[in-house]
Chains A and B, each alone.
Chain A
Amino acid sequence: MKYIATIDDKTYEIEVNSECEITLDGKSFSIDFLPIASPSIISLLLDGQSFEAHVNPTDAGWEVFLLGQRYLVTVEDERQQRLREVSSVQAAHREAFQLKAPMPGLVVAVPIKEGEQVEQGANLVVLESMKMQNELKAPRDGEVIGVRVKPGDNVDQEQVLVILD
Chain B
Amino acid sequence: MFDKVLIANRGEIAVRVIRACRELGMSTVAVYSEADRAALHVRYADEAYLLGPAPARESYLRGDLIIDLARKSGAGAIHPGYGFLAEREDFARSVQDAGLVFIGPKPTAIAAMGDKAVARATVTAAGVAVVPGTEGEGNLTDDELIAIAPTIGFPLLIKATAGGGGMGMREVNSSHEMLGLINAARREAEAAFGDGNVYLEKLLINARHIEFQILADDHGNVIHLGERECSLQRRHQKLLEESPSLLINEALRQQMGEVACTAARSVDYLNAGTIEFLVDKDHNFYFLEMNTRLQVEHPVTEMVTGVDIVREQIGIAQGKPLGVTQDDIRLNGWAIECRINAEDPYFNFMPSSGSLAQVCPPTGSGVRVDTGVYSGLQISPYYDSLISKLICWGDTRDEAILRMRRALEEYRIVGVKTNIPFHQRIMDSRHFITGEFDTRFVEERFSMNETEDGLEAMPHIAAIMATLVNHYQTQRVAQIIRQDDHGKSGWKWAGRMERLEK
- Complex contact A7–B350 (CB within 8 A): no
What A residues does B167 contact at CB under 8 A? 131-132
Q: Are B460 and A24 in contact (CB under 8 A)?
A: yes
Q: How far is the CA of A31 from the CA of B464 in the complex (A)?
A: 10
Cβ 8 A contact of B468, one of A12, A31, A128, A130: A31
Known A35-B496, A67-B458, A131-B384: A16·B468 in contact at CB below 8 Å = yes
- Neighbour of A53 across the interface among B358, B462, B501, CB < 8 A: B462
Interfacial chain A residues near B360, Cβ < 8 Å: 37
A55 touches B465 (CB 8 A): yes
Which residue of B348, B409, B467, B492 has the most chain A CB atoms within 10 A of its CB atom?
Answer: B467
> Does A68 lie within 8 Å of B425, measured CB to CB?
yes
At the interface, is chain B mostly helix, strand, loop or mixed?
helix
Q: Is B353 an interface residue (CB 8 A)?
A: yes
Contact assessment for A39 and B463 in the assembled complex, using a CB-CB cutoff below 8 Å? no
Query: In the bound complex, do residue A37 and residue B357 qualify as a contact, i.e. CB atoms below 8 Å apart?
Result: yes
Contact B466 A39 (CB under 8 A): no
Bound Cα distance from A137 to B357, whole angstroms: 30
Q: A67-B456, A67-B458, A103-B350 are in contact. Are A34 and B466 (CB under 8 A)?
A: no
Q: Mark A41-76, 1 if CB is under 8 A from B, else 0.
A: 110101000010111000001101111111101010
Whether a CB of chain B sits under 8 angstroms from the CB of A117 is no
A37, A130, A157 — most chain B CB neighbours (10 Å): A130
**Residue A40 is within 8 A (CB to CB) of chain B in the complex:** yes
Q: How far is the CB of B400 from chain A (nearest CB, A)?
A: 17
Bound-complex Cα distance A5 to B468 (A) = 10
A69 cross-chain contacts in B, Cβ below 8 A: 421, 455, 457-458
B462–A73 contact, CB under 8 A? yes
The answer to whether A108 and B187 have CB atoms under 8 Å apart is yes
A1-45 vs B, CB cutoff 8 Å, 1 = contact: the mask equals 101010110101010100100101000000101110111111010
CB neighbours of B501 from chain A (8 A): 38-39
A115 touches B (CB below 8 Å): no
A12 contacts B463, C-beta separation under 8 Å: yes
Min Cβ gap A72→B in Å is 9
Q: What B residues does A42 contact at CB under 8 A? A: 465, 468-469
Known: A35-B500, A64-B466. A41 touches B414 (CB 8 A): yes
Tell me whether A14 and B467 are in contact (CB under 8 A): yes
Decide if B467 touches A5 in the complex (CB within 8 Å): yes
Give the residue name and chain of the A residue nearest to B375 (CB). A37
Known: A7-B459, A19-B493, A130-B384. A55 touches B469 (CB 8 A): yes
When C-beta atoms are compared, the residue in chain B nearest to A104 turns out to be B381
Contact B351 A129 (CB under 8 A): yes
For the complex, is B470 an interface residue (Cβ under 8 Å from A)? Answer: yes
Q: Which residues of A contact B412 (CB under 8 A)?
A: 37, 41
Task: Give the shortest distance, in Å, between A132 (CB) and chain B (any CB).
Answer: 6
CA distance A12 to B188 in the complex (A): 49
Known: A130-B381, A133-B188. A37 touches B358 (CB 8 A): yes
| Nearest-Cβ distance from residue B238 to partner chain A, whole angstroms | 14
Residue of A46, A61, A70 near B346 (CB, 8 A) is A70
Question: In the complex, how many angstroms separate the beta carbon of A5 from the nearest chain B beta carbon?
Answer: 4
A63–B218 Cα gap in the complex (Å)? 56
**A interface with B by C-beta (< 8 Å):** 1, 3, 5, 7-8, 10, 12, 14, 16, 19, 22, 24, 31, 33-35, 37-42, 44, 46, 51, 53-55, 61-62, 64-71, 73, 75, 77, 102-105, 108, 128-134, 137, 157
A-B contact pairs, 16 of them (CB 8 A): A7-B462, A12-B460, A16-B471, A31-B464, A33-B496, A44-B464, A61-B466, A62-B470, A67-B409, A68-B405, A70-B346, A70-B448, A75-B467, A103-B381, A130-B382, A132-B351
Report, nearest first, the 8 A-B pairs whose CB atoms are least far apart.
A38-B502, A68-B424, A73-B466, A62-B466, A5-B463, A71-B462, A130-B351, A37-B358
